[in-house]
Structure 1
Amino acid sequence: MTNDFSALSRRRFAAGAFAGAASLALPTAALHAQSRPVLKAGDQKGGLRALLEAAGGLEGLGYDIQWSEFPAAAPLAEALNAQAVDSGPIGDAPLVFALAAGTKVKAIGANRSDSYGTAVLVRPDSQLKSAADLKGRSVATNRGSIGHYITLKAITAAGLQPEDVNLRFLAPADAKLALTQGSVDAWATWEPYTALAETSGHARVLASGRGLLPGLSYLAATDAAIAAKRPLLQDFLQRVVRAQRWSLRNVDAFSATLARIIGIPPDAAKLQFERRQQKWVPIDAKVIADQQGTADFYRQVGLIKQPLDVRGTFDLGFSAQG
């Protein structure tokens, strides 16, 4: 089937989405650049790099990390598809979209979090009170994103159909502007964008993902990277897991570092971190069943054209016991 990612994502990807990539390594890395392996790590705003830096999780690396940051899952998935990055964090719904589009990736680690911050937002003065009020209204979000997913879950739970809302597919920055300027009625997004919009007074939550979404996201890796760099990916995953545990014990320190790295106010950084309560979990039967439910829902609402059996999209050979 054809790739369902937006034309905007394609143009930004083609224009050089990786221009801001930076290498993180030991001070002697420059002397050994030809001998040290390189892991090309994709990231999303507020993601793994901030976590690892705050927790000291990049110390003692036996390889270099080349970071590329993306504003959302769709351009990250494009980068994985092009093998421009080896690995990156991606939510359950975007992973379904990527796999249905033929991207050769697998989930190698899974985490669960509170889904409240994956939400449909409206302006503070909006007259809309519930998801049912979105009938005939416009909602901005990324196509195939977790924001797209929460929009569809919220309106179908309220008895509406996908065609009852007017979806406008925009990147997060453009969607936020559209909401604040009044050119759309709602914006469906995720953390840290939700916390930033709330704490700045620009939006309030109309419908959250709590009780509607399984709260799953993954560390995904390309099939090629798994074949060639499995030890690096295993080490990287375990460093992320250890860093996550550290962050839950050091909320203030982590929130301050997160705010500095991703450029948002400390109160927004702390809010989104505290309420997510993200924890890495084994890829077990429950995780696979929940992921299958996401794929089945996307098939039900017509976003993917063929049934997708998710069992083959997990690599169970990695351990999240950091």
Structure 2
Amino acid sequence: MQLPSPDLIDPASLAVKSVLDQLAPTDATVLIIGETGTGKEVMARYLHHHSQRCQHPFLAVNCGALTESLAESELFGHEKGAFTGAMDRHQGWFEAADGGTLLLDEIGELSLPLQVKLLRVLQEREITRVGSSRAVKVNVRVIAATNRDLAVAIRERRFREDLYYRLNVASVTLPPLRQRCEDIPLLAGHFLQLYARRLGRPQCRLSEEAMATLKAYPWPGNIRELENTLHNAVLLSKEALITSQQLRLGAITAHDQPQDDGDLDRFLRTQLLESRSPLYPRVIESLVRNAVELSQGNQLQAATLLGISRNTLRTHLGHLGLIKPRRSLGRHPTPAQSSRPQRERELRIGYQKFGNLGFLKARQSLEAQLVDQGVSVLWSEFPAGPQLLHALGNKEIDFCTTGEVPPLFAQANNDAMVYVAWEPAAPQSVALLVAKQSPIQQIADLKGKRIAVTKGSNVHFLLLQLLDEAGLAQDDVRIVYAPPKYPLTPSDSHAIDAWMMWDPLLSDAEKEGHLRVIADGVGRVNNYQFYLAGREFAAHSSDLLQTLMSALEQTGRYIDAHRPEAAALLSTELGICTDSLTHALARRSHQTQHMNLAMIREQQRIADRFYALGLLNHAIKVRDAVWQQ
């Protein structure tokens, strides 16, 4: 979510800004409370930018996204060999934010054991890496944010009272958008201008009726929902004037919806008294359907919105007839099972919103091919290759695509995966960038600088090559492991000196002109793309893999022959202008090819290099992880 400066005009917003202006110059820990989508991170960035720490990093970590097994390592770091897969020393979020500000978003999601350790860090201002007994001093201002009622969590013994008081030195409560309607015109103007520029569209404006509709709508998703609504309107509008019909908000008004827990109780009580049919199944169905729709079919995101597990969500989806009972793809049916009517199978694909898989998902042609075979296709979006391979190794998905490096880390971690196919090299599709006005002119100037990179990714490999080329070691720079991101906010430029990027974000950054390329992958990395499957899935679902590969080959041929049309379709999915996407698509051939000896040797060369650097915990044989058709 991107917002303008919080210099808004509604009295409720002005009151919040006044509090922020008083808190910003101090080092006080601040707790920001507000519903989902109200702009808590934006307010945290405002506090940082107006503090004495503004020249130092601002980092944000979503506590709800930290896995239980890795959360301590992510927050506090770990030493080499601290656990299986810890191939080198890792700097945690607290160390990476040293001197600056760390936002702990969704703080209420932290487990109780981690709450104890966080309390000690806040009290002592020092962390201890996993696998170490040495305390490391940290100078970090902590801002916490939550959309939950922590007082209730304390009563239910899900949140420590002593940690609450340590965090709540000062608190800011952000009113929901429905309570500050006078801000809507300013916010709407900002989002219209932003997406018109990014999508290369003429500047749009709202009709009076459309603006009235925006003000009357209750905005349960707050500013994030407003942004998505206007983004969609810009995408679909062919005229400069956007009408209320193009907003697709329906006829719901603020008076139709409960505003708080008391209103919700009264609303439900009225429905119970007046309803002629059972209310419970209707409420469950409405909640599930709306969550799935808001998440665009992503079950993990829908489950998160509802506050339930994915398995529980799937149970509800099954009861509603939205999916059929699941049968594992990795097991053969017994004779008794074979005599029963065959249940629907699932093909679970992990993807990033680009390339052949992203395009195949957008066209939904694979679903049409598999419907007669009783196979449903489930898509799960991931930000980068390491996350995809983690999901593949944990059997959360069956198939994915990624670059050269993540599969090697997966193999070294003994994940049961196989290479299925590859796409030709695209070395220009990965690069190191700096701000346009940055004094950094060459790779050697990176010494002592902070570089944002996705750990275990292709750009991670490129960075190693660049450092080696300039005679620098990893310890000569400050590596900040962060997910891929563009466009950048002002605080990103304060926190980071250089960024490792890949397409399509790289092409979009080049087109915008705010960043410049110091070096790309040409002559340094090949940046092949590989298709991978779970070993068990590949062994027992060869028919599905063959169908999938055929669909990908057709998709690749279409993209290479019709790049403008492919870019236009992906533009709708990504919110990136077609010019940037056309440029990104043109830098790579999308012709999917089966694995061969040359590709195996190329991957083995990279694996040997990583092992020699100590980044892999043991030597691997790539040949042992190739799908035997």
Q: Judge same fold: TM > 0.5, yes or no.
A: yes
Give me the whole-angstrom Cα distance separating, in 2, the residues matched to 1:291 and 1:124. 35
Q: CA deviation at 1:143?
A: 1.0
Match of 2:414 among 102, 120, 138: 102
Does residue 1:60 correspond to 2:60, yes or no? no
Tell me: CA distance 1:253–1:139, structure 2 relative to 1, closer, same or farther (3 Å). same
Match of 2:549 in 1: 237
Identify the range of structure 1 (66-75 vs 228-237) with the bigger mean alpha-carbon deviation: 228-237
Q: Report SS of the residue matched to 1:172.
A: coil
Q: CA deviation at 1:273?
A: 0.8
Give me the whole-angstrom Cα distance separating, in 2, the residues matched to 1:302 and 1:31. 48
Q: CA deviation at 1:113?
A: 2.8
Match of 2:300 in 1: 19
> So what's the TM-score if we normalise by structure 1?
0.86
Q: What percent of counterpart residues are identical?
A: 27
Return the letter of the residue paired with 2:345. Answer: P
CA displacement 1:138-195 (0-9 Å, x = unmatched): 1111111112111111121232222222111011139955884231111112111211
Match of 1:118 in 2: 430
Match of 2:358 among 50, 58, 61: 50
Match of 1:2 in 2: 84
Give me the whole-angstrom Cα distance separating, in 1, the residues matched to 2:462 and 2:516. 15
Identify the range of structure 1 (31-40 vs 135-144) with the bigger mean alpha-carbon deviation: 31-40
Does residue 1:227 correspond to 2:539, yes or no? yes
Match of 1:172 in 2: 484
Identify the range of structure 1 (208-217 vs 175-184) with the bigger mean alpha-carbon deviation: 175-184
Q: CA deviation at 1:239?
A: 0.6
Match of 2:494 in 1: 182
**Greater RCO (Cα-Cα under 8 Å, separation 6 or more):** 1
Identify the range of structure 1 (172-181 vs 36-45) with the bigger mean alpha-carbon deviation: 172-181
Give me the whole-angstrom Cα distance separating, in 2, the residues matched to 1:251 and 1:302. 41
Contact 2:487 2:509 in 1 (8 A): no
Give me the whole-angstrom Cα distance separating, in 1, the residues matched to 2:459 and 2:363. 29
Match of 2:455 in 1: 143
Match of 2:237 in 1: none
Does residue 1:40 correspond to 2:348, yes or no? yes
Tell me: CA distance 1:174–1:270, structure 2 relative to 1, closer, same or farther (3 Å). closer
Contact 2:486 2:505 in 1 (8 A): no
Contact 2:352 2:358 in 1 (8 A): no
CA displacement 1:19-62 (0-9 Å, x = unmatched): 248x9xxxxxx799453321000001314443215666423323
Q: Report SS of the residue matched to 2:391.
A: helix
Return the letter of the residue paired with 1:45. Answer: K
Return the letter of the residue paired with 1:306. Answer: H
Contact 1:20 1:69 in 2 (8 A): no
Return the letter of the residue paired with 2:546. Answer: Q
Q: Report SS of the residue matched to 2:436.
A: coil
CA displacement 1:88-114 (0-9 Å, x = unmatched): 012111111111122111111111232
Give me the whole-angstrom Cα distance separating, in 1, the residues matched to 2:487 and 2:610. 22
Ranges in structure 2 where 5+ consecutive residues have no aligned partner = 1-82, 94-104, 111-294, 303-313, 315-320, 326-342
Identify the range of structure 1 (193-202 vs 138-147) with the bigger mean alpha-carbon deviation: 193-202
Structure showing greater Rg: 2
Does residue 1:212 correspond to 2:553, yes or no? no
Give me the whole-angstrom Cα distance separating, in 1, the residues matched to 2:491 and 2:607. 29
Match of 2:25 in 1: none
Tell me: CA distance 1:81–1:53, structure 2 relative to 1, closer, same or farther (3 Å). closer
Give me the whole-angstrom Cα distance separating, in 2, the residues matched to 1:217 and 1:179. 32
Give me the whole-angstrom Cα distance separating, in 1, the residues matched to 2:427 and 2:526. 7
The structure richer in strand per residue is: 1
Identify the range of structure 1 (57-66 vs 236-245) with the bigger mean alpha-carbon deviation: 57-66
Give me the whole-angstrom Cα distance separating, in 2, the residues matched to 1:141 and 1:178. 18
Give me the whole-angstrom Cα distance separating, in 2, the residues matched to 1:47 and 1:218. 11
Q: CA deviation at 1:200?
A: 2.4
1:74-89 equivalence runs, <5 A: 74-89=386-401
Contact 2:85 2:617 in 1 (8 A): no
Tell me: CA distance 1:188–1:75, structure 2 relative to 1, closer, same or farther (3 Å). same
Does residue 1:256 correspond to 2:568, yes or no? yes
Return the letter of the residue paired with 1:60. Answer: Q
Match of 1:26 in 2: none
